[in-house]
Chains A and B, each alone.
Chain A
Amino acid sequence: MPELSAALSEYSDLFFEGFRNTLILAIGGMIGALVIGVVGASLRVWGGPFFAPLGTAYVEFFRNTPLLVQLSFCAVLFAPNNLNITANPIIVGILGLSIYTGSYVTEAVRSGILAVDPRQIESARSLGLSQVATLRFIVLPQAIRTVIPPLGNITIALTKNTSIVSAIAANELLKVAGIIETRTASFDGYLAALVAFWCLTLPLAFVVSRLERRLKFAR
């Protein structure tokens, strides 16, 4: 125990910087992914013969290539003078995570849109509900029920994937643990990083499984 507190207390500022950056990556990535996902799903559902295939191509390509390759590409793309490494790893990380995760969000949102039977919308409209009222009382309640559990799962996966941004030299939890290890030869940084990740993912997993069960019965 004394060794643990020694290495960690010496570098506690660095460790919390790493934790903060992991949070920034996760939250920033999720916001970006939601924006991309809503646009992508709209393209796939209502895009017509030109935009729908582009939405599909985006989803298929970015879901079937490794995040590491996408992040490295983004890092090189925004590198000054072909240095092969970016000066702003956090921003590039958020961008890469958004693009990768956006492909999953697109699929989740699309399944939400498609979960509502078009005949229900027609019936609602012919019963005299306005377009807004149809959206508010018929479409959204059902769509959100379908979308929330997968979105929760995507958020968990995204939180775990933030660790890969360490590969482009972003100071997130795993990178910080590595720095502590090289400076103090203590493994405690990694153990603390593990616990920190669990503090983020385990409660999320618990909430998602509860939500899944509740929404399943609510249907």
Chain B
Amino acid sequence: MTANRGRIRLGRTAIGRLVVVIVAVGLIVAGIVTGALPERRWEPFLQVSTWTFLGQGLLVTLIVGGIALVASLAISVPLGMARTELRGPLGWLVTAWIELVRATPILAILVIVFLGGPRLGLRVTALQAATIGLIIYNSAVLAEIVRAGIGSIAKGEVEAARSLGLGYTSTMRFVVLPQALARMIPAIVSQLITLIKDTSLAFILGAQELVGYGRSFFNFYGNSMETYVVIGVIFFLICYPLSRLSRRLEAREPGRERVVVTGEADQIAVATP
């Protein structure tokens, strides 16, 4: 019975994929036939030089995303711990910082770093400003995830570790953080998707990343719509496997308490009971 049910489900996803592919191919064919998507505007995408050109942009996007992720993670752990542990004025300061940054549109942070930096004597290129802005925003979001992760560890574990003679640092280092980080991984992966999508905002500052390269490309060939579709597909090919990964990691331990953060649209998948 169980095996049977599994087979039926497999059949349904296969049909589902087939339907999606057929509809997509049908749309493209209809576009070419009706002239809404003229063939010649797709032709540049058959050249190798197009892909090496867009590849340079993709490389910039990935490097910015990678740097921002590593730096945000590194900052978010102490920031999240400070948010959990600190009391008094210093604690309020950390809380206010995290809440205000999370309440600010990320594009506003990027623009303010780029235009406000020079006023404070910090000269940055558009790409540097975008990276700094991404780090500021994502470290605050990840800090909130860290806080939720630490909060999800049973109090008894901390008490047990402390009464066994471990200090605060050792308790965190050996008992709380390893478990908390493991629970946070789906939420972190899902935040990584947001981060990769947000790297595109560097383009608004004038930085040359994937969207910027795409714009130079279609300014030359005059195929803006097609280029945006291709860029969208490139982003999709990066982000979709990540979102599958995030869901798979979540489903691996269904009974376990999940780390959910308020205010982030991408956490919905995590929040669903």
A residues whose Cβ falls under 8 Å from a Cβ of B: 49-50, 52-54, 56-57, 60-61, 63-70, 72-73, 76-77, 82, 84, 101, 104, 107-108, 111, 115, 146, 149-150, 153-154, 156-158, 160-164, 166-167, 174, 178, 181, 187, 190, 193-194, 197-198, 201-202, 205, 208-209, 212
Q: Provide the residues of chain A in CB contact with B265, threshold 8 Å.
A: 101, 104, 153-154, 156-158
Q: Does B84 contact A (CB under 8 A)?
A: no
Contact between chains at B103 and A60 (CB < 8 Å):
no
Q: Provide the residues of chain B in CB contact with A84, threshold 8 Å.
A: 224
Q: Does B243 contact A (CB under 8 A)?
A: yes
Contact between chains at B19 and A76 (CB < 8 Å):
no
Stretch at the interface among B51-59, B85-93, B112-120, B168-176: B112-120
Contact between chains at A76 and B239 (CB < 8 Å):
no
Q: Provide the residues of chain A in CB contact with B108, threshold 8 Å.
A: 163, 174, 190, 193-194, 197
CA distance A162 to B100 in the complex (A): 17
Which partner residue on chain B sits nearest A50 by CB separation? Answer: B19
Q: Out of B23, B107, B198, B200, which one reaches A166, CB within 8 Å?
A: B107
CA distance A187 to B118 in the complex (A): 12
Q: Does B255 contact A (CB under 8 A)?
A: no
Contact between chains at A54 and B239 (CB < 8 Å):
no
Which partner residue on chain B sits nearest A178 by CB separation? Answer: B111
**Given A65-B232, A82-B222, A174-B107: A49 and B12 within 8 A (CB)?**
yes
SS class, residues of chain B in contact with chain A: helix
Q: Out of A52, A150, A166, A181, which one reaches B268, CB within 8 Å?
A: A150
Q: Provide the residues of chain A in CB contact with B99, threshold 8 Å.
A: 202, 205
Q: Provide the residues of chain A in CB contact with B204, threshold 8 Å.
A: 68, 164, 166-167
CA distance A161 to B119 in the complex (A): 26
Summed over the interface, the residue pairs from A and B with CB atoms below 8 Å come to a total of 158
CA distance A201 to B243 in the complex (A): 26
**Chain B: how many interface residues by the 8 Å CB criterion?**
53
CA distance A60 to B239 in the complex (A): 9
Q: Provide the residues of chain A in CB contact with B231, threshold 8 Å.
A: 69
Q: Provide the residues of chain A in CB contact with B16, threshold 8 Å.
A: 49, 52-53, 56
Q: Provide the residues of chain B in CB contact with A56, threshold 8 Å.
A: 16, 20
Contact between chains at A187 and B119 (CB < 8 Å):
yes
Contact between chains at B228 and A73 (CB < 8 Å):
yes
Which partner residue on chain B sits nearest A219 by CB separation? Answer: B273
CB interface residues, B 178-220, toward A, < 8 Å: 193, 197-198, 200-201, 203-204, 211
Q: Does B267 contact A (CB under 8 A)?
A: yes
Q: Out of A54, A154, A158, which one reaches B23, CB within 8 Å?
A: A54
Q: A-B pairs with the 10 shortest C-beta distances?
A: A53-B16, A64-B239, A157-B265, A163-B105, A66-B200, A160-B105, A73-B228, A66-B197, A201-B103, A111-B272
Contact between chains at B268 and A49 (CB < 8 Å):
no
CA distance A209 to B263 in the complex (A): 8
Expressed in whole angstroms, the minimum distance between the Cβ of A217 and any Cβ of chain B is: 15
Expressed in whole angstroms, the minimum distance between the Cβ of B239 and any Cβ of chain A is: 4
Q: Provide the residues of chain A in CB contact with B271, threshold 8 Å.
A: 149-150
22 residue pairs A–B, Cβ–Cβ below 8 Å: A49-B19, A53-B20, A54-B19, A54-B23, A56-B20, A64-B235, A66-B197, A66-B200, A68-B201, A68-B204, A69-B211, A77-B225, A104-B268, A157-B264, A160-B106, A164-B105, A181-B115, A187-B116, A190-B108, A190-B115, A194-B108, A205-B262
**Given A66-B235, A68-B200, A205-B99: A153 and B225 within 8 A (CB)?**
no
